[in-house]
Amino acid sequence: MSQKKNYFQRIVELFAGNNYPASVRSDFFRWLTDEEHATEKDKALKKLWETTRSTADTEISIHTWKRIRKSIGLLPEKNFIRRIRIWQGAAAVLLLMLASSLYLASIARRPSADLIQQYFPIAETGCFLLPDGSQVQLNSKSTLLYPQNFSGKTRSVYLIGEANFKVAHDKKHPFIVKSADLQVTALGTEFNVSAYPDNPVTEATLISGSIRVEYDNLQSSEILEPNEQLAYNRIDKNRLRLIPDMNDVTAWQRDELVFKEMTLTDIIRVLERKYPYRFEYSLNSLGNDKYTFRFREKAALPEVMDIIESVVGNIKYKIEGNSCFLTEKNK
């Protein structure tokens, strides 16, 4: 089995195998029932359910599982996560039942300490300290999982999204950031990791100190020097070693927006993380042209869209309520 796991599955396993406080359970259900990356979360739940069925006796049979799902109005498996967002209370009860039954299952590696989740939703970022004194700045729509107290030979955390780390020096206990496609190991340093699941490219950028970046199922690794970046594409397995503009890399920490050689589709994906709006558009109408923009700190969405509309030329936008509609100008 590969050393690298599907971290959506890992998160679900960690939660299912432990009895966490109510506040942690609440955060977990909020993350799980969010529409973002619904397919991956659904697969993780389904995989865990299938594994449990084959390894342990549970009180919830397939028939009961389907009956519960039907009773709270859930659609078939493929739409499970998307729909349970609407019934969060009922979903919480269902998942608590699942977690209770899975508690007896043979999950290989259970963490010895409570798992803590930090999550910042759309349009929010935040800073906090880890148990070892390391500083973390977490970007919007990002999740960081870490133990209540670090124990063992390493200090490991799990990242979904983007974060900047200023690591407390501890030579005997390396600091490790794990994501779906990269594993970054540091002693005492500052670095940035961008690992959004909806972006096929995961990036690790070293600001100071030294880090080792492992990729390709942890079969390959490189040591980065300050101001270097390793970008790994999980689709074609290619990696690039770059010297980026560090002001661009850290722009999100100052609430600035920087888009460099990005398609409109990719730009909108970032805007959906930074602004509490739903973007409605036709993928065919956006094209594959690439654009570069830089916006000031905390720029309002209309200001951003005015400039994008002016530069692109053949699109127009309209904001109604919490939606932003993009259409072609000739329609």
Q: Which strand (E) or helix (H) includes residue 2?
A: none
Q: How far is CA 219 from the centre of its chain?
A: 23
Q: What is the CATH number of domain 115-249?
A: 2.60.120.1440
pLDDT recorded at residue 268: 92
Distances (CA, A) of 86 to 5, 46, 89, 241: 29, 20, 9, 43
Residues in contact with 54: Cβ distance below 8 Å, sequence separation at least 6, in sequence order:
none
Is residue 175 packed enough to be buried (19+ CB in 10 Å), middle (13-18) or exposed (0-12)?
Answer: buried
What number of other Cβ atoms are within 10 A of residue 288's Cβ? Answer: 7
> Against a cut of 0.85, is the pTM above it?
no
Q: Where are the domains of the chain?
A: 7-102, 115-249, 255-328
Distance separating alpha carbons of residues 18 and 15, to the nearest angstrom? 6
Distance separating alpha carbons of residues 176 and 128, to the nearest angstrom? 17
Distance separating alpha carbons of residues 188 and 191, to the nearest angstrom? 10
CATH of 255-328 given 1.10.287.70, 3.50.50.60, 3.55.50.30, 4.10.640.10:
3.55.50.30
pLDDT recorded at residue 313: 85
pLDDT recorded at residue 273: 92
Name beta bridge partners: 317.
326
Give 10-residue mean pLDDT values along the chain (331 residues): 50 58 58 60 60 45 46 42 38 43 33 71 94 96 89 89 95 91 90 92 96 92 96 93 95 95 92 92 76 94 95 90 87 57
* 241: its two tokens: 């070693």
pLDDT recorded at residue 253: 95
pLDDT recorded at residue 85: 38
pLDDT recorded at residue 3: 39
pLDDT recorded at residue 59: 41
